[in-house]
Structure 1
């Protein structure tokens, strides 16, 4: 087996291996050659080559999202590193572990006009759990280093070397930083950055490992919920007749079914879920906007909870956020081991636990349910909304709304669903999805920039077929995602092409003028057909209901290539169909 001759590269690779980081997403470059040589020559690692670093970042995020453990990203020095930033920020807010390994120039070459060089130290400072800036061992630098190095930098380096004393101390410092970074990614589920300076020559190899780094194990501290705290929660819970549980983005099978069933029995509790919540019960309210959008002021007051309990990631529904900010609960508790967002400006308890830990401590104490008609009343309203929804969908013209109804009702069970941001995730909120289909969406930052790359990463990590439903702008924005040699044949993309950012048409303001079309809706005449030909993907398209239903009968069947279905909808009616929907179901 071949190793890089550079000890620091060996140290990084050995510690990644020791901490079970198996998936390595590499973007080609020269300065990162020592890492590339080490990772690709060790059969333990599964390596991927993705040219575009922005796509590489989201591809890695899609894998990490599914395997729920860190994935490493490897890039060369300079602006390459900055292209990871969208994926890094998404991982930061979605609690997904990524380990960024960036190659760098030695310090004496930074800031003097050397090529492919930027200030890489702490470059992700506001969106990273930990930054490890490693130090080069100058024993391995060229002999003329002191002659070419600026005097002031040389002086600082000499002082630091004298302060550290010996090479062993420098190695220990680097090893500690690497261990700390990876441990933080594992423990806190988020991105970390390890910046690694390399001195030329970069391509020399050896068959003998030189480095033998110390492995610092991850320390998992189990924190028990204080009994007094649970009693306090119990007293409040037992005192109020209106409790609302709102679940944001949540991984499948994270909450025990017995807990969900127990909550469903309590008539003083209503549970509101989103498409990305991945929890199911017939009593739960899984289309929030359908429930609350038509409410009057008096009905809003009836819905206002005494206690609001939230868990999971960020909330998609703007309507529920607006409602709970105006009609605030007396108490808002958020359950999360890591942090709590004061989304509704009334947070008074951060319950540092998992939902399972909290409810398994609280629910057994309940000897009876508080007498209430809170759940039954809103269940009656929900039933009426469902009937109106069904009636409306049967009579609308071919449009984005109609397309989502047809597509969602024709999804096979054995798949993983990825949703693009903006219109795709918001339309999906209005429909009942099959409870056996896990749903994911990049809702940490809610950007359109990496949905396709994330879905492809997911498809590579998951045994089930992956289907991405996305809008046209999101698809074209991330079209380099298809520049990827790892797309499984069972991967499917469904593009709803309404020739622009149609979601902007439902917002207040003037539309159907040149400025709106250009700067807000961003109208276009693009099609995915030629991209699919270039990247060798099967392509089909539909522009009416009959074509769509016919194509969906075979679209998910086994194939020799990944498939794309592009659905063209009429640009100028989609907004009115959606706005009329909320009037109709009222």
Structure 2
């Protein structure tokens, strides 16, 4: 087998292997050649070559998001590294283990005007779990660089001895740093950055490893919850007649079904879920905006919870945020191993545990259900909203809302469903999804950038087929996501093209002006047709519900290429239909 000659490159690669980092996303470059040589010549690794670093990082994010295992991205020096930042920020706020391996120039070549050189040390310091700047190997005893400020050697023996000593210290330092970085990504679930300086020559190889780095063990022990905390929660739980559980982004099967069933039996508990929660029960309350938006002030006061329990990632619904910030519960408990966001400005308790761990510790100790009609009242509201929802959809013309109703009903069972941000995820929130469908969305930063690349990365490692539904701006913004050779044949893309950022028409402001069209909505006449031709994606289009239904009949069938369905909706009409929707269901 072929290895890079540089010991530092060998060290990074071997420790990635020891830590079971299998998926390596590489962007072509020269300074990262030692890493590329090592990763691509070892059959253990699954390597992907993606030119655009921004897309590459989101592609890796999609892999890590689906597998919940660390995925590495490898780039050359200079501005290439900065293109990783959007995906790193998403990984940071979504607890996704992403390992960034950036090649760098030696210290003496930084700040002198050398090409492809920036200050890479700690460049992601505000959005990274751990940042490490490794030390450059000393190439040989006759080439101890002056910039390292080593002492003057008086004779050859002394020089050789000191050289070996310094190289050993450097090797030890680098092994410690790499181990700590990767362990952080695995244990604390988030992005880490390892900056790796390489000196030329970069392309030399050897047939035997010259270093054998040691991997430190990773201990993933579940920290027990303090019994006092459980007892305190239990006392408050038993006395509260109105308890609301609000669930954000969760991985599928994150909470055992038996605990969900137990919560559903308690009339004093309501469970609000979002599409990204991946939790299902007939007694739970999905489609939050549909239920919350039409409530009167009197109803909101009446339905304000005594205790609010939250867990999972960030919440999509602005309406539930407004409700709980205005009508704050007496107590807000957040269940999370890492941190607790004070989203509603009333946080009283951060239980440092996984949701499953918390419910396993709490629920078996509950001896009685407090008498309450809290869930019954909410259930009545839910039923009324659902009936009005169905009535409204029967009478509206062709629009984004009617399109999403048709699309979401069409997704086959057991599919992976990746959703674009902005209006796409908000429309999805208004409908109930089949419980066999796994839902993913980049809600850490809620940006439209990188959604397509993330979906493709997820699809590459998914056993089930993946469908990605997005708006036009998000799709075109990340069209480089199609620039790779790894898109599965069963990958499906649906672009709802309303010729601009339609979500901005829902917001307050003058919507009928050239200024708004140009700088807010950013209207356009682009289509995905020519992109599909360039990237060998089968293209379909539709302009009516009937056309959509006809195309969907074969859309999910097996094919030789991925498929994209582009649906054109009326730009001016969509916002009025959505705004009237909330008036109607009230």
**What's the TM-score, normalizing by structure 1?**
0.97
TM-fit CA distance, 1:137: 1.8
CA pair 313-162 structure 1, distance change in 2 beyond 3 A:
farther
Aligned to 1:176: 176
Aligned to 2:476: 476
Q: Deviations over 1:139-163 (max 9, x none)?
A: 35994954xxxxxx4548989x989
CA distance in structure 2 between the aligned counterparts of 1:222 and 1:423, rounded to whole angstroms: 38
Aligned to 2:86: 86
CA distance in structure 1 between the aligned counterparts of 2:173 and 2:148, rounded to whole angstroms: 20
CA contact (8 A) 1:78 1:118 kept: yes
Q: Deviations over 1:453-499 (max 9, x none)?
A: 00000000101110000000000000000001000000000000000
Aligned to 1:584: 584
TM-fit CA distance, 1:215: 1.1
- Structure 1 SS opposite 2:246: strand
1:188 aligns with 2:184: no
Unmatched segments (≥5 aa) in structure 1: 147-152
- Structure 2 SS opposite 1:138: coil
CA distance in structure 1 between the aligned counterparts of 2:288 and 2:554, rounded to whole angstroms: 32
Aligned to 1:304: 304
CA distance in structure 1 between the aligned counterparts of 2:506 and 2:11, rounded to whole angstroms: 54
CA distance in structure 2 between the aligned counterparts of 1:280 and 1:512, rounded to whole angstroms: 42
Aligned to 1:263: 263
Q: Deviations over 1:419-445 (max 9, x none)?
A: 000000000000011111010000000
Q: How does 1:420-459 map to 2 (within 5 A)?
A: 420-459=420-459
Aligned to 2:157: none
CA distance in structure 1 between the aligned counterparts of 2:14 and 2:532, rounded to whole angstroms: 40
CA pair 305-34 structure 1, distance change in 2 beyond 3 A:
same
1:335 aligns with 2:331: no
Q: How does 1:11-22 map to 2 (within 5 A)?
A: 11-22=11-22
CA pair 298-535 structure 1, distance change in 2 beyond 3 A:
same
CA distance in structure 2 between the aligned counterparts of 1:296 and 1:215, rounded to whole angstroms: 60
- Structure 2 SS opposite 1:409: helix
1:322 aligns with 2:360: no
CA distance in structure 1 between the aligned counterparts of 2:151 and 2:80, rounded to whole angstroms: 27
Q: How does 1:220-231 map to 2 (within 5 A)?
A: 220-231=220-231
Number of residue pairs matched by the alignment? 579
CA contact (8 A) 1:164 1:170 kept: no
CA contact (8 A) 2:6 2:34 kept: yes
Aligned to 2:389: 389
Q: How does 1:487-566 map to 2 (within 5 A)?
A: 487-566=487-566
CA contact (8 A) 2:499 2:526 kept: yes
- Structure 2 SS opposite 1:309: strand
CA contact (8 A) 1:79 1:118 kept: yes
TM-fit CA distance, 1:219: 2.4
Unmatched segments (≥5 aa) in structure 2: 154-160
- Structure 2 SS opposite 1:139: coil
1:32 aligns with 2:28: no
Aligned to 1:149: none
Query: Which region of structure 1 is more displaced relative to structure 2, 35-44 or 213-222?
Result: 213-222
CA distance in structure 1 between the aligned counterparts of 2:554 and 2:416, rounded to whole angstroms: 18
CA contact (8 A) 1:470 1:494 kept: yes
CA distance in structure 2 between the aligned counterparts of 1:166 and 1:490, rounded to whole angstroms: 53
CA contact (8 A) 1:24 1:45 kept: yes
Q: How does 1:125-144 map to 2 (within 5 A)?
A: 125-140=125-140, 143=143
Aligned to 1:235: 235
CA distance in structure 2 between the aligned counterparts of 1:162 and 1:371, rounded to whole angstroms: 78
Aligned to 1:403: 403
Query: Which region of structure 1 is more displaced relative to structure 2, 410-419 or 43-52?
Result: 410-419
- Structure 2 SS opposite 1:377: helix
CA distance in structure 1 between the aligned counterparts of 2:381 and 2:204, rounded to whole angstroms: 71
CA distance in structure 2 between the aligned counterparts of 1:325 and 1:156, rounded to whole angstroms: 60
**What's the TM-score, normalizing by structure 2?**
0.97
